[in-house]
Structure 1
Amino acid sequence: MRDDDNSDACDETPRAEDKCYTRGRLRDEFRLKPAPGAEPVRWYKNGYGGKYGVYRLADCVPMQAKRPQTEKQQQASARLGLQARMKSQRGRSARLAHLWLIQEPLFLDTETTGLDAGAQALEIGLVNALGEKIFETRLKPTVSIDPAAAAVHGISDDELLRAPSWPDIAPQLQHHIGWRPLVIFNADFDTRILKQTAAAHNAPASWLDTLTVYCAMRLAAGHYGPTNRYGTISLSDAVSQAGLSWTGEAHSAVTDAVMTAQVVNNIAGYWHELQCEMNDDAGSEPA
């Protein structure tokens, strides 16, 4: 039994004022505390080897009401709360998203033949932060599409028979990316796929190592919280957490890139809200 568990601990309670309660019950239910010098009516042992007492209502006095905060105290509390939100994981993620966006990044996504070490890209989508399409193509891989992957994106081997191969589109992709950073949802996976695709065609891929790449999946997991046992979050969960609606067909490269851009913009929006609150707070201080 804990200090805040029982209500009536005395055996005989003929009158309301004679009922006995623990300190916790007195505080939480009655806003009372034992009067100075009041002794417990009885002592009880708790499950941790300690003991606690119970007091009669008649031996208690009202707890002092909290004084209302002054305007200056309210401003100080609000400022501390704002600083805490800015330093929180959510706030730090939002600031990071803001820093990414001011670099004018591009958002990339791929659809693949599978997930293993031999998987290749069969569709690539590239958009800007506004969700405007910069580049889109399908690719003819050198391996067959895994049925599990086909069930997700709906692309078949027959649809890719006339598609260009990686060596045909790599220069265009490199040109469109240029100096700009890439933001990718699950960046480690997509960059691995691009390198595997280049390797399958014996094409040079050293330029892929020179790219600045940011992972939107880790950013979203930090801002919204992880939603799986791997400590990460899926794009669909991030879209849902952000309160966004899908524009286009999910699991197409361009659509997923567009939604990644929207998620990052949503996260950065929280940082902008905090900055507005900071500016309002600064403006409210006396000169």
Structure 2
Amino acid sequence: MREIVFDTETTGIQVSEGHRMVEIGCVEMVNRVETGRVFHAYFNPERSMPPEAQAVHGLSETFLSAQPLFRDVCEELLDFIEDSPLVAHNAAFDFAFLNFELGECGRLHIPRSRMIDTLALSRTKHPGAKHSLDALCVRYGVDRSHRVKHGALLDAQLLAQCYVELTGGRQIGLSLHEAPSAAEAVRQDAIAYDITRPVRAPRPHAASAAELERHARFLAQLTDPVWDLGTAKAA
């Protein structure tokens, strides 16, 4: 199954307040595996960039003024996403901006039926936890050290890795191979999550002969133990 994980950067929070999309990043996945195909573009929003928004993504008005308009790359974007499901974090936000830009180009909106919201998936799977993209990366061991500021393509790539974990992890589906032993499973997890602690075999828990002898001597010192009450009453 083909899916597109995507993210957007904008000039603000609400389309209704005149804010526009300035960047989109898309990552192609087939059967929850990244294919290496991506789509990435910046857009001239034809408006000013609020300082608080620039502080988030670092995209200045000067930089964006030299970028193409959305309508100039609209067809290329639509050719990339085709009719695939679209995965985003807090997807309603990204869909609102994407559909506004499509509408401005005279194109049909992408229906919500194609939307997969990883924020909703996270809230269902981890109730009461933090659900930001940063929190998901920490929870699933996804390296985000190079994420200094928000960036649409980088965030889409990080989200793609988190999406795999949210929907079954690195071993999705059934396998015809024999299941690994408990020790091997621990070893594989250590490799996958870079755990350096050594794997130790279970320690024996059976009492030694000396311990059993001390226990018998201790029991012999008890007066009227509870396990003898029924026997005494019957006699």
Q: TM-score range by the shorter chain?
A: 0.5 to 0.7
The alpha-carbon deviation at position 197 of structure 1 amounts to 3.0
Task: Judge conservation of contact 2:5–2:88 (CA < 8 Å) in 1.
Answer: yes
Q: Please, what is the CA RMSD of the aligned residues?
A: 2.8
Distance 1:135 1:274, change over 3 A: closer
Number of the residue aligned with 2:152: 253
Question: Under a length normalisation based on structure 1, what TM-score does the superposition of the two structures give?
Answer: 0.54
Number of the residue aligned with 1:219: 121
Number of the residue aligned with 2:233: none
Question: Under a length normalisation based on structure 2, what TM-score does the superposition of the two structures give?
Answer: 0.65
CA distance in 2, matches of 1:176, 1:154: 26
The alpha-carbon deviation at position 131 of structure 1 amounts to 6.8
The alpha-carbon deviation at position 132 of structure 1 amounts to 2.6
The alpha-carbon deviation at position 221 of structure 1 amounts to 2.2
CA distance in 2, matches of 1:146, 1:122: 12
Which of 80, 86, 94 is matched with 1:182 structurally? 86
Question: Which consecutive unaligned segments of at least 5 residues does structure 2 have?
Answer: 180-235
Distance 1:274 1:104, change over 3 A: closer
Task: Judge conservation of contact 2:27–2:36 (CA < 8 Å) in 1.
Answer: yes
- Quick check: 1:158 aligned with 2:62? yes
Distance 1:274 1:168, change over 3 A: closer
The alpha-carbon deviation at position 205 of structure 1 amounts to 3.3
The alpha-carbon deviation at position 273 of structure 1 amounts to 7.3
CA distance in 2, matches of 1:171, 1:211: 21
Question: Which consecutive unaligned segments of at least 5 residues does structure 1 have?
Answer: 1-102, 281-287
Counterpart residue identity of residue 25, structure 2: G
Alignment of 1:38-57 (within 5 A): none
Quick check: which has more Rg, 1 or 2?
Answer: 1
Task: Judge conservation of contact 2:9–2:21 (CA < 8 Å) in 1.
Answer: yes
SS, match of residue 206 in structure 1: coil
Distance 1:186 1:222, change over 3 A: same
Task: Judge conservation of contact 1:135–1:173 (CA < 8 Å) in 2.
Answer: yes
CA distance in 2, matches of 1:206, 1:123: 20
Task: Report how many residues are paired.
Answer: 173
Q: Deviations over 1:113-151 (max 9, x none)?
A: 110222211011011232734210000002222221111
Number of the residue aligned with 1:134: 38
Q: What percent identity do the matched residue pairs reach?
A: 26
SS, match of residue 251 in structure 1: coil
- Quick check: 1:268 aligned with 2:167? yes
